[in-house]
Structures are given as C-alpha cells and as structure tokens.
Amino acid sequence: MEGSVSALLCRTSDRIAATSQGARELALTVAERMEVEARMIGTPGEPADSHFDDDLRDARGCLLEAGGQVEDALGGGRFPVLTSSDCSICITTLPAVARLRPEALVLWLDAHPDFNSPETTTSGFLGGMCLSAACGAWDAGLDAGFIDPSRVVMCGIRDVDAGERVLVETNGVGLVERPSRLADVLAGREVFIHLDLDVLDPATMPGLQWPVDGGLSDGGLRTLLAEVAEAADVVGLEITDFPAPPLARRVATMVEPVLP
Ligand SMILES: [Mn+2]
C-alpha cells in the first residue's frame, strides 16, 4: 500500500520547541524508509504554557489540518503517517479515522490517557484532555465529529489523574495492561495507532515533556508493534511527543513493523 507522510509543524498546544523539531525530523526519516516525499504542514509557533481554550481558538486551523491529512490519505487508499508535537491532533484525526474506517479500532499507546475534561484538568493543557474530546466526552468546538470511546484500546498507561480515571471508566474506553495481550484483543481488526513516545521509558527517550518511569524499551515497543502488525490490519499511524531529533532513526526502526 502507498504511504503518505506528513509533519504537522504548526502549533497546537506546544509547550516546548523540541517536539516540533522532532516531528519534522521523524517525518523525514520515516518518509525516506517508505520511499515517499514527506509533507511539511505549517510553520512552528512560539511554545507557551497556554490554556486549552486559548489553544483551541489559536490552533483551530492547525488542528483541522491534522484531521484533513488523515482524511485525505485514508480517502485516497493510502496509509497515513502523521507526526506532530502534541497529542492534541487526535481531536480531529481520530474522528477522521471513524468516518473513513468505521470498523477500525484505535490503539492508544501513551503513558497518559489524555482524558481530562474542562472540569477535571489541573494543568489546563489541551494535550492532556484531547482523547476525551475526540471521544465526545466534552465539546472542543471544532465540529470535527467524534469516535466511539469503546473503539479505543489503551496500553502503556501509567500516569492517570483521579478525575480522569473516572472519565476513562465511565466512557467505556478499553484498557490492556499487558502489551503481550494486545495481539489477542486486536486480532483480525483494522487498527489505527496513536503513539505518544512517552509510552517509552524516560531512560530510552530523553527530554520527554511528561516523563513517567516504568515505560517500554526500544525493543519492547518494536516487539509490541510487530505483534500488532502480525495480528491486525494496521491502517495508519500518528506519532507525537518526540523531543530528541537526533534519535529519529531509532524511532523509525521501532515503528518499522507497522509501516506498509
Ligand atoms: Mn499523550
């Protein structure tokens, strides 16, 4: 299958500059392996500790562009790889997956559920409340649609806020504790993968914005993805939160098993 690689460089909720540089470098590296041209979307903004409602207003065009990239690729029968600074892109990308691949599950690989709401967030960080918006648990005001939370399967989660935990449970999001069980859960299904690189251990991925101990190793992530690729039909991938541009080749090697 043909691939489509794009880096979303424009600011969504970026609080540090390294992750936008990482998105660019990773897209270039993955595109080279897939033998396609990487598309660069927008120009990096100024990182800031801003509040989610300001970011939703200021980054509206950028967020909608993320969904557009996934929609165009899936609609054209291509395998999307989208890299971005923050997980906030999922507010538009996952509803696009739900529209174009209505049977697909989403595999959410992340140290965090990103499932806070305007009521539960303590940081005001849009990136910590984006999956809940994608699932329709609160309205981000982008008219992007949503994905049924029961179609989302989380793995690697190990830092959950109290109010967030309640929302994850009441919304019926799937949670798999052991990576080795994923192949069974996803067997025979179409799967779109959301990969926040903080699913890796901070010792493996230096410079993470929200590091959490106890994460996967390089080899652990590659094995997990190889097992998923073997068991399921992977239809696309988004990679966020990559703060270490010089490590782009290592990350490209980790995700290689799911690339077309
Ligand atoms: Mn995340």
Q: For residue 76, report the distance from its CA to the centre of ligand 1, in Å.
A: 28
Q: For residue 194, report the distance from its CA to the centre of ligand 1, in Å.
A: 9
pTM: 0.98
What's residue 1's pLDDT? 85
Q: For residue 241, report the distance from its CA to the centre of ligand 1, in Å.
A: 7
Q: What is the mean pLDDT of each run of 10 residues along the chain (260 residues)?
A: 96 94 98 97 94 96 98 98 97 98 98 98 96 98 97 98 96 96 97 98 96 98 98 98 97 98
76: number of Cβ within 10 Å: 11
Ordered alpha helix ranges (H), the chain = 18-34, 52-58, 60-75, 90-100, 130-134, 162-170, 182-186, 218-231, 248-255
Delineate the domains of the chain, giving CATH numbers in brackets.
Answer: 3-258 (3.40.800.10)
Q: For residue 197, report the distance from its CA to the centre of ligand 1, in Å.
A: 8
Q: For residue 154, report the distance from its CA to the centre of ligand 1, in Å.
A: 11
